[in-house]
Amino acid sequence: MSNRKIWDQWAKRYERLWVQKFSLQPTRQQILRQLREYLQPDIDYKILDVGCGIGQLLREIRQEFPDYNLHLTGIDYSQQMIEVAKQHNNTHNGDLYKDIDLYLLDVEQLGQLAGTYDVIVCTHSFPYYSKQLQVLQQFHNKLNNQGYLFLAQASENTLYDRFVMSFVKLTTGKANYLSIEEIKSMSESLFKCEKIVRISDKKYMPSLILFAFKKTLLDI
């Protein structure tokens, strides 16, 4: 079964999965902490969530910054994830989420989105991209010159990490969970790594890591 079909099947049960409590929710909370440090109330921002799933992070950003002028966009390659996200946006909290744009797009189609973004967020989907360096290059291209990439994922740094993630792959499909050093090495020509945050300190959890990257201007 393809990864796309797996995520289509999980879409309607996504909010009830055990990983919400132990992985996805803590990751979203950490992203919000980073955005609180970065966003200013008197500046307009365009924020893109790549692999947005059912749109939980985008809705939480809107809730956290209701008075900020944020243009929020999410893309995902799972049609069912996007449909569930749109249903949530249309049925919860009145008009709060009405201006969140959602598109059915694969990460390799990122260039189809017009313009650039101030912030790109990618949480837990990066390991499933087969051409990871090219994806980082696309993120670089879609960020403005002062833009930030917040990249969060499980990371295989120890034998225990590899052991645990081998079971995760059985339910989510093929993935490449790069180590901290591998991510840093892959990204160093494109981004300055300003912060590395360990998301979970629970001993039974594998490494969950958030990277705060600032776009590096390339020599032409």
Q: What is the pLDDT of residue 194?
A: 96
Check if the beta carbon of residue 168 is closer than 8 Å to that of residue 217: no
158 is a domain residue: yes
94 pLDDT higher than 90: no
Q: 95 vs 90, 100, 114, 172, CA distance in Å?
A: 8, 10, 25, 33
DSSP for residue 13: G
59 is a domain residue: yes
Please tell me the least confidently modeled range out of 65-69, 129-133, 156-160, 196-200. 156-160
134 is a domain residue: yes
156 is a domain residue: yes
Please tell me the least confidently modeled range out of 47-61, 101-115, 194-208. 194-208
**CATH code assigned at 77:** 3.40.50.150
214 is a domain residue: no
Q: Which domain holds residue 137?
A: 3-10+25-35+43-204
Total number of domains in the chain: 1
20 is a domain residue: no
Q: Please classify residue 208 by burial: count the beta carbons closer than 10 Å to its beta carbon, then call 0-12 exposed, 13-18 middle and 19+ buried.
A: buried
How far, in Å, CA of 165 to CA of 162, rounded? 5
Q: Which residues contact 56 (CB under 8 A, 6 or more apart)?
A: 15, 24, 28
Check if the beta carbon of residue 140 is closer than 8 Å to that of residue 215: yes
Please state whether the predicted TM-score (pTM) of the whole model is above 0.85.
yes
Tokens 């809730």 locate to 63
151 is a domain residue: yes
Q: 102 vs 58, 59, 98, CA distance in Å?
A: 10, 12, 11
Average predicted confidence (pLDDT) for the chain: 86
Give the DSSP letter string of 93-140.
Answer: STTTTTT-EEEE--GGGGGGS-S-EEEEEEES-GGG-S-HHHHHHHHH
172 pLDDT higher than 90: no
Higher pLDDT, 91 or 70: 70
168 is a domain residue: yes
1 pLDDT higher than 50: no
Higher pLDDT, 9 or 173: 9
Q: What is the pLDDT of residue 90?
A: 84
